[in-house]
Chains A and B, each alone.
Chain A
């Protein structure tokens, strides 16, 4: 293959390295107004009165909008397909606030300064309500967050349950009786934030035809159009969403967080509106990873195969239920798809609390599930005296295996059957253990102050949401043999424009610079559900490949007409007759435009799939623990992935490397915390520490090759899977180093230190006991 499996310069790279004005905010609009959101200082309160008269007296303040200015229409900010599986529990502005940071009022200013100044001049009277800051307390509490019956999609407002999940295959209770060993532990994962460097930014204006234009940093332009249309009650026909280059999203920009606010203001004032989140807003009023508490039980047979897995999830939804059901369902779906166990059970409850709102974040529930699962498999191996890799080899799903949980748990409804067509898991583990020097490190002594340890974890993910995700592409030909590829797929910094160009160029057998990619604009490009759920390569790439194949056939037919032959070959941008006469793509298109059998050669295609083949990954960590302080240093992470045929190895490596950096933060340095009143504590990058260049350990990234027949050129997904492995691999490595098991993320030095202290106390007691028994022995002798 000419393009697939090869590194190439990004098609958008030139503009990016030159700092060209290609991002949402790099534009100057006449009469632009600047928006700020007045946010709640209270975790839970009723708004009794909003007095904005003082703010309105400020120079440059155009308007202050409150809940009284908009109709009460419930929607979800989740930015999902229709109908959304998330509860519709959100209003543009409400008379009640449910977390510190909830919207109270929208300020419209002639300048940003005027709008900012007005923030302090709006007087709000609140009736403060009891704040529920722990899902265990919030569940069945007499205080209700959403005291409104009949909210669509909310499982039980009276019990503060946003969503519920339950499934059982086989008989877990009976399997527990029959298992030789049963392990039961509890684990938890905290709030974490996506922390894309470009904040949320949207601009809206009415064009010369009074159509509402939304230029926004989004992963889901088509969902933005649909949801904004609904929220502001303006027809889809009169809305255009433009996605420029995006400065990262990682799930966070799947949310509709500012588009609807800008749109509502523009429709009220008739003027362009701009709303950009500050970093502090991102870190408390944006979106985050759902915290989960997981009770996990695994039953093991005499031959060390798993007899059952029982997963009990308590999820903190935060104040609104965005993605609360489906994240939990992915936790279960991915964790329970990794190992073969004839009996599996999951129950999950997502509870409203007066805390940060969670949402989609790379991995989407899978990191919350693999941390417990892969920690526990390590604990089982240790307790039974087995090599953790051997125990995994015995139990993970293999090619040809059926994965029954996929059928039971879909995207908020029943799913589709899943059979593993391809798996490189064995090779991932073998290659990774060589690269981390597993055998050697296993033997390192656990003596001394600094102790080195090694840990492993394995995981899977999906390739798009089966039966739901759909992408479309349109390709038209130009008279120099170049092509415009218009894709609904949204490149948010992932490199998908480049990857799609490679797929199209491969299929059409042309150089990559003949592909001119444009994505995505609801007026111009065809539909795509959006850049989430690891869907772009597999789903949108599938659409591009189909469209390119169709167009290639059309070019061949046109070539035959022009060469006046019945049969011809098409290869390397020429159509060639059997007598050797040939005609180039350029000539074919030129003739089709101007002289012969005139037409625009063009093709479009849509693609969806009931399959969602899992990529597989093995991650290894090499750590050193200082047993006097609990401070640990991550020396090296090895990540080996089977993502099928890699379309662009350099970009795929980049996906893995970036995911590892995020996961390292999730493991020990990134966690959103609130005080006893629910107010956020760490709302800047000094206190919410994401990895910098000097924090990074050595990263080794490898791919093992498989060929997934259902994917474009054999590809599976790569975007999310590498974020799942580091946290459990590091927890396991710390245990291997010093015998300390941390089951609650983040793994802070303090937690390690306290566990080490306990260990010392225990060993002191044992030593004393040992000394005593020796004395007794001596006495006897």
Chain B
């Protein structure tokens, strides 16, 4: 089947099988920032923004993308400049292995669009769906704060 959606501002027509997840489709079309860590909605490595909301791509079926706006970190910043969250993650040392980083940045972005001055609790709630095994979340939380 075919599903049309907007990926990072561009129209995409994706051929896919019924039942294929957004994670599988996005990785197949080489949106590699969307990572697989568990495939059942627990680790958050495959976080995408779906109409501005942070969701796990592994729990979204292909047809559910129809006519939606999808954002991934590929659309953040440009070749020569970074999005402020990307800068902060680098400055604060919030990136270690970097596998969870795109997902964390997207979850943080979804929060900050609604709440530009979040509390520590709001940040932790927003990042609760993004498992990280390297940082203990200390520096990612700090990066979102700043």
Contact = CB atoms under 8 A, between A and B. Distances in A.
B76 A18 contact: yes
A653 interface: yes
A206 to B, nearest CB: 23
Given A23-B35, A684-B42, A18 B136 contact: no
Nearest to B126: A693
A278 B138 contact: no
A657 B94 CA distance: 11
A703 to B, nearest CB: 14
B133 A690 contact: yes
A657 B98 contact: no
A170 interface: no
A18 B38 contact: no
B37 interface: yes
Given A19-B72, A197-B37, A660-B136, A248 B97 contact: yes
B133 A693 contact: no
B43 A279 contact: yes
Interface in A561-586: none
A198 B97 contact: yes
Contact of B134 (A18, A245, A654): A654
Contacts of B56: none
Q: Which of A276, A493, A662, A693 has the most CB of B within 10 A?
A: A693
A653 B42 CA distance: 26
Contacts of A22: 98
A696 interface: yes
A368 to B, nearest CB: 20
A343 interface: no
B139 interface: yes
Contacts of B130: 693
A23 B98 CA distance: 10
A247 B34 CA distance: 13
A386 to B, nearest CB: 32
Contacts of B97: 16, 196-198, 245-248, 492-494
The B interface, classified by DSSP as helix, strand, loop or mixed, is loop
A516 B15 CA distance: 40
A694 interface: yes
B90 A197 contact: no
A278 B38 CA distance: 7
Contacts of B37: 197-199, 247, 279
A270 interface: no
B62 interface: no
Interface in B100-131: 100-102, 105, 123-125, 127-131
Contacts of A195: 133
A3 to B, nearest CB: 15
Interface string B31-64: 0111111111011010000000000000000000
B82 interface: yes
Given A18-B33, A694-B128, A658 B39 contact: no
Contact of B100 (A197, A654, A660, A686): A197
B135 interface: yes
B99 A248 contact: yes
A14 B93 contact: no
Interface string B77-102: 10000100010011111011111111
Contacts of A654: 93, 96, 134-135, 138-139
Given A246-B97, A279-B38, A19 B33 contact: yes
Contacts of A17: 73, 82, 86, 89-90, 95, 98, 101-102, 105
Interface string A8-47: 0110111111111111011010000000000000000000
Contact of A18 (B34, B82, B92, B123): B82
A14 B30 CA distance: 19
B54 to A, nearest CB: 13
A543 interface: no
B22 interface: no
Given A17-B73, A19-B74, A658 B134 contact: yes
Contact of A28 (B30, B86, B141): B30
A362 B10 CA distance: 44
A19 B38 CA distance: 18
Contact of A197 (B34, B40, B76, B99): B99
B101 A23 contact: no
A685 interface: yes
A650 interface: yes
A699 interface: yes
Interface residues of A, number: 58
Q: Which of A13, A14, A278, A657 has the most CB of B within 10 A?
A: A13
B70 interface: no
Contacts of B96: 248, 493-495, 654, 658
Contacts of B105: 17
B35 A247 contact: yes
Contacts of A13: 90, 95, 98
A12 B98 contact: yes
A495 to B, nearest CB: 7
A509 to B, nearest CB: 25
A247 B33 contact: no
B22 to A, nearest CB: 16
Contact of B125 (A26, A694, A699): A694
Given A660-B136, A661-B136, A278 B39 contact: yes
A239 B139 CA distance: 39
Nearest to B37: A197
Contacts of B128: 692-694
B132 interface: yes
Given A197-B133, A690-B133, A694-B128, A19 B42 contact: no
A496 to B, nearest CB: 11
Interface string A247-267: 110100000000000000000
A7 B133 CA distance: 21
Interface string A648-659: 001101100111
B26 to A, nearest CB: 11
Q: Which of B72, B134, B141 has the most CB of A within 10 A?
A: B134
Given A696-B138, A699-B138, A685 B131 contact: yes
Contacts of B91: 9
Nearest to B100: A197
A686 B100 CA distance: 18
A196 B129 CA distance: 16
Contacts of A276: 36
A662 B90 contact: no
B95 A196 contact: no
B98 A247 contact: yes
Nearest to B42: A685
Given A199-B36, A279-B38, A16 B101 contact: yes
A10 B134 contact: no
A9 B139 CA distance: 13
B98 A21 contact: no
B98 A661 contact: no
Nearest to B99: A247
B98 A16 contact: yes
22 contacts: A12-B98, A15-B98, A18-B73, A18-B74, A19-B72, A20-B33, A21-B32, A196-B99, A197-B100, A197-B132, A198-B35, A198-B99, A199-B37, A247-B100, A248-B134, A250-B133, A492-B97, A495-B96, A651-B93, A653-B139, A654-B138, A690-B133
Interface of A: 7, 9-10, 12-23, 25-26, 28, 113, 194-199, 245-248, 250, 276, 278-279, 492-495, 650-651, 653-654, 657-662, 684-686, 690-694, 696, 699, 701
